[in-house]
Structure 1
């Protein structure tokens, strides 16, 4: 089967990659979270990216024991790269994973370490490589080599999966590139693209998400402008989409561990180089403030009188269970500050995680009606709601706030006030 491979980090990125690689190679999936490994051994993936039957039939070996990483021919590092409270890159998980790899290297095999974690250009060669040398006492190039391939996992997307997308690859020499092309080429029908350098591949990932962030920020800003003249942005979008080259980005709450984070990695690099990243930070600032703007606007629409509010949707995007960096919590926080009694509901969110991290409890909205019901995340469950159920959740004279425009076609009780972006 060729190379013995270890994938370090089994989250949204690492698990689908490890499962795909295991179809062609001998693969160990490693994660420091023993609970995560235990769940996966029971064929349960809490991220919902890999289904039970696929896990059950996979030859992937799972471990939280570092000794099982030793002596691999290829290491893939797929750990999270978030930002801290000041929106600065937090590379702690990446450095920790790098040290685990360094301790596991057999220099006589001259292994390849391939990073998929999203970083700013220069991290793989300028930070990770030296860290491996420091921790292992080995020499890059002679005893191990580096590669980089930006991950393109889109949580909840069943079309653009690891076995279908084009993989951008970069290595420190032609031999590494050939090896990466052979490995990735064995598991994806989308083929590979050889980037000019590791820094170019790192930069490609950074701008892919920053570009989306900026485009959505534009839509959020024009949404705020049109709201001042009583025009819904969804009506504007319906008209604009008839032009052949219009880019159909939509407004909303923009968070998560990619698009809500990666622009800060790019802006960090810019600032390190003495460049003021005006466009990138302006877009992020607009998107970061959207939740509070929505809450303040709803409060004003309701005459400045607080009441009971229900937020439908807490995860960072539709049909996924991930609560990390979700901007729905901005809505909850601001409405609470304004005096509202806020309940929250989400069919995908983990109740224990929500309680431990955010101090919130999930509600089943089938009891008393609310003054405000806010559709924050377009889960399919909410898209499929029948009008009579929505009617039952909103008090007479109450407001249904449809942030994502998912109920625009529904006929509701005329006593309900309707609001959308």
Structure 2
């Protein structure tokens, strides 16, 4: 009987090493079919899962409460599993070189608890060669076992899109690879237990690693092109969104839009590929050019905000700006590598006081990584500009008149109360203001309505 059959018959277990936005949904999905051990070194995270709480908001508290995943921070529990999936972050250093410390650490931990006959599948995004050249030697050293004889390795790049309730693990074709045909067959069968869309068997582990890293590099380049267009069209006084809507009527026009590119994937993965390219003697031109454009967008948005404020005669030093949304994308609490922070830092360089509103951002991570404490929307008042940076669903109920009241000394909290009263002179004075700067990065509001309402309006 092979490993796959033993897993299906619950004679062997699957382990997930790393229970973040990627690993946790995978663990939960597999637990519907087989026995799963969910391991993470962060004890506080494990304690939340054990209480039935989902800090990632990827599957929800109810699902976590009812899952059969054995959540643990005890690495010795890994010895009970024979099929291991490693899904830990692969960030970059300040100099844009790959930070493989989390992956190396996970490999060491797993190696210490690896048993004969195991298969280890890595999901972390890496440049081609990392699995076999870096992870395997660590596994061998820590376990005392020999790869290819005592244990096997595979690679299956994660494709989960945080915050996306449509494109999930089950509905996205899974790329799988193994060091030999037997391993590939087992890895494919195991993932087919949960991936309804099926699997694609890559020719090799390096092919699968390369496939993943170029997926996000391609998106990064396309978004960079949109950002460059936005800069050009803003200088020409042309509305970028209107241009894209017109161009989008052609059947083969690619649907990308300008914006801040952060997070743990698109804003990071291209640097893994260019790092490896440099090692083999090739200096990237297109990929790094796109990265530079996207990395500079925070500064560009901050400068555009300052220019708009100057045009309506705002005093810059000491001005107050409210930023709505600080996560790296909408409808997810993930603040890793968020580029909204670049906007904040640049504004603060001008002496601007920045207030952040984000009801779904992970507050502990926000404080630990950036020393930022978000405030409530009710606390926003007497500001000089507002930036809608991340279009969370929670913000969609905010109206233009609500935004106007944020510039008033009474603030947004007074907006609903004033709605209940007949139009008063106090409310009319607030709504008639013409010095309200609205930076609507993703075009949440209607441009004409905003300008008709007297806003100094700007969007990418």
Instruction: Tell me, yes or no, if structure 1 residue 380 matches structure 2 residue 390.
Output: no
Q: 1:415 — aligned with what? A: 454
Look up the match of 1:203. 210
Partner of 2:354 in structure 1?
342
Listed as ranges, the matches of 1:187-336 within 5 Å are 187-303=194-310, 305-306=315-316, 307-336=319-348
Aligned to 1:145: 152
Gaps of 5+ in 2: 1-8, 409-432
Match of 2:39 in 1: 30
Does residue 91 of structure 2 align to residue 53 of structure 1? no
Q: How many Å apart are 1:72 and its aligned residue?
A: 1.9
Residue 164 (structure 1) aligned with residue 171 (structure 2): yes
3-state SS in 2 of match to 1:190: coil
Question: Over residues 220-264 of structure 1, what are the superposed CA-to-partner deviations in whole Å (9 max), with x where a residue is unaligned?
Answer: 011101111111111111111111100010001000000010001
For 1:98 and 1:352, locate their aligned partners in 2 and report how far apart those are by CA, in whole Å: 27
Matches of 1:255 and 1:95, distance apart in 2 = 24
Q: CA deviation at 1:409?
A: 5.9
1:155-175 deviations in whole A, cap 9, x for unaligned? Answer: 001111112211100001111
* 8 Å CA contact 1:71, 1:105 repeated in 2: no
8 Å contact kept, 2:14–2:84: yes
CA distance in 2, matches of 1:354, 1:157: 21
1:367-401 deviations in Å (ceiling 9; x for gaps): 42311100111111223312321221235212111
How far did residue 408 of structure 1 move?
1.7
1:403 aligns with 2:412: no
The DSSP-based 3-state class of the residue aligned with 2:439 is strand
SS in 2 for 1:101: helix
Residue 119 of structure 2 is matched in structure 1 by: 112
Decide whether the 8 Å contact of 2:447 with 2:457 is kept in 1: no
Pick closer, same or farther for the CA change 1:7–1:410 going to 2, 3 Å.
farther
Q: TM-score, normalised by structure 1?
A: 0.97
Structure 1: 5+ residue runs without aligned partners?
Answer: none
Give aligned pairs, total.
419
Distance apart, 1:177 and its partner CA: 1.1
Task: State whether structure 2 residue 368 is matched by structure 1 residue 359.
Answer: no
- CA-CA distance at 1:410 after TM superposition: 7.4
Greater C-alpha radius of gyration = 2
Q: Which moved more, 1:407-416 or 1:246-255?
A: 407-416
